[in-house]
Amino acid sequence: MSKIADVGHAIAVLQWDKEVYLPKGSATFRSQQIATLSSIAHELFTSDSFSDLLNKLSVDDSLSEEQSRNIALTKRDHEKSTKFTTEFIVKKSQTISTCFQAWLSAREKNDHTIYLAPLTELMKIVREEAEILGYEGHPYDALLDYYEPMLTVEKLEALFTPLKQELKTILHKISSRPQVDNSILHKHYDKDEQWKFGIEVLRNMGYNFDMGRQDIAAHPFTTSFSSQDVRVTTRIDENDLGNMTWSCIHEGGHALYEQGLDPKNYGLPLGKYISLGIHESQSRLWENNVGRSKTYWSHMLITLKEHFPNQLTDVSVQDFYKAINKVAPNLIRTEADELHYHLHVIIRYEIEKELMEKTLEIKDIKSAWNTKYKDYLGVDVPDDNNGFLQDVHWAHGSIGYFPTYSIGSLYAAQFFDEASKEITDLDKQIGNGDNAPLLEWLREHIHKHGQFYDAEDLCKKITGEGLNAKYFIDYVSDKYAEIYGF
């Protein structure tokens, strides 16, 4: 496992370098090198000797509880990856390549028709994949399981139905109130000063720069080469302070999770994050529950003003708090506010589910998309780059990924609610700029366990119940009622 992890982390280094430092003419060999290492990792994981070892260890009753869990989870992944023939893997990978190129062309030419045939082909393979993997309820369940083990359509419906309804209600209330002005975020903010502030934000959260670093990337991401080398990236827009700030806090949240995994479990399930939803819960908790709260900024606005005294003279905490929580419908998921965000996700979820059910065909995606945007968000989609071509996920064959973004926010709200009950004066501590008690709580209850618990079990262990959308709904209802005065 350690050897396989070494190869996997080498791939991560090559990918990180590709995103942050690769010269523009150097991509061809880099892609080849990543492909070679990927095939080596796959060979190691699916080799006969590895299978034999797993089979032997899975009936070994001298193992500790931790060891048994490591073996059981590895066996689960191993069985999944041995279900596919090499031909299937090659076919899928080639179709993804073609589809991704078609997506790039379609975006470049703003012509979605280029993309339809390759995506139809890829969708066929993805459906085949679901059949090979197997499922009990809905074919979509087989795919959801990749990103969020044990998540099903049934569970998602129970979460998304009230969420969608309540969001509509809150948004309706907001729309009837005076709107928020966030122009202070769009003054000119010097790049170098923003960078320095971002570093302070990360330090203040507890990110360890002795075992990590920040660099610039076009699309911010976090990557880990071991829990002792977890790197974040950010981007800076001189006319949008929010872009860098919340990408920094978001990636910082991901990074704190990775830095909190136990290095002695390197390469093992117990040294790895549970699921994308739990990972996202950590980034969202810091980004929103902490990073868009009034208490957080009652401290951090002082620091921010040291970097930008001219731009922020006379701006009160309350003004700033309102500006950073402005709610307005828009076309692009990654630029959405805390409320509309989930409508963007639900639209994608509904389309994916119907594609898997074959009640929707690829050629009808565009109209389904545009209709739902008008219906849920009230916006007209002017062109496909601002419509269904905006995300890369489908072109990568990643069906079932989007829901984890919302799942993350729901877990975040539920965890933060519990943390607020358990940690004495959490609000006051954050207001004093001291995030250590919160980080310690997350480390103790979530990070250090790796995959020892499933997501649902972990949630029950921490909060006394499974994932429940109620916490998120309560959080946003209270918050936006105060901001918009309804």
| Catalytic center residues | 251
| One of 105, 108, 134, 209 touching a second copy (CB under 8 A) | 209
Question: Exposed, middle or buried by CB within 10 Å (0-12, 13-18, 19+), for 314?
Answer: exposed
Pairing of strands 230-234, 212-216: parallel
Q: Helix, strand or coil for residue 94?
A: helix
Per the DSSP assignment, residues forming a β-bridge with 240 are: 237
| One of 72, 104, 211, 423 touching a second copy (CB under 8 A) | 211
Any contact of residue 68 with a second copy (CB under 8 A)?
no
In the region spanning residues 24 to 53, those forming contacts with a second copy, defined by CB under 8 A, are 24-26, 28-30, 32-33, 36-37, 40
Nearest-5° Cα angle at 52, 48 to 53:
120
CA gyration radius, the chain: 23
Q: How far is the CB of 57 from a second copy (least distance, A)?
A: 21
Q: What is the DSSP string of 331-384?
A: S-GGG--TTHHHHHHHHHHHHHHHHHHTSS-GGGHHHHHHHHIIIII-----SG
H or E segment at 400? none
Q: Judged by CB under 8 A, which stretch of 166-174, 223-231, 244-252, 288-296 contacts a second copy? A: 223-231
Q: How far is the CB of 15 from a second copy (least distance, A)?
A: 10
In the bound state with a second copy, the residue whose beta carbon lies nearer, of 17 and 457, is 17
**Cα–Cα distance for residue pair 469/161, rounded to 1 Å:** 10
Q: Judged by CB under 8 A, which stretch of 5-13, 103-111, 186-194, 358-366 contacts a second copy? A: 5-13
| One of 17, 79, 157, 444 touching a second copy (CB under 8 A) | 17
Total residues in contact with a second copy, by rule CB under 8 A: 36
Any contact of residue 214 with a second copy (CB under 8 A)?
no
Question: Could you give the string, one character per residue 261-300, with x where binding to a second copy holds by CB under 8 A and - elsewhere?
Answer: --x--x----------------------------------
Any contact of residue 190 with a second copy (CB under 8 A)?
no
Q: Tell me the helices (H) and strands (E) count for the chain, helix number first.
A: 20, 3
**Cα–Cα distance for residue pair 250/412, rounded to 1 Å:** 12
Any contact of residue 225 with a second copy (CB under 8 A)?
yes
Q: Judged by CB under 8 A, which stretch of 202-210, 245-253, 270-278, 374-382 contacts a second copy? A: 202-210
C-alpha dist (Å) from residue 290 to 173, 307, 426: 24, 21, 11
Query: What does the H/E/C string look like for 109-155?
Result: HCCCHHHHHHHHHHHHHHHHHHHHHCCCCCHHHHHHHHHCCCCCHHH
In the bound state with a second copy, the residue whose beta carbon lies nearer, of 8 and 242, is 8
Name the site residues for a second copy (rule: CB under 8 A): 2-3, 6-7, 9-10, 13-14, 17, 21-26, 28-30, 32-33, 36-37, 40, 208-213, 215, 225-226, 228-229, 263, 266
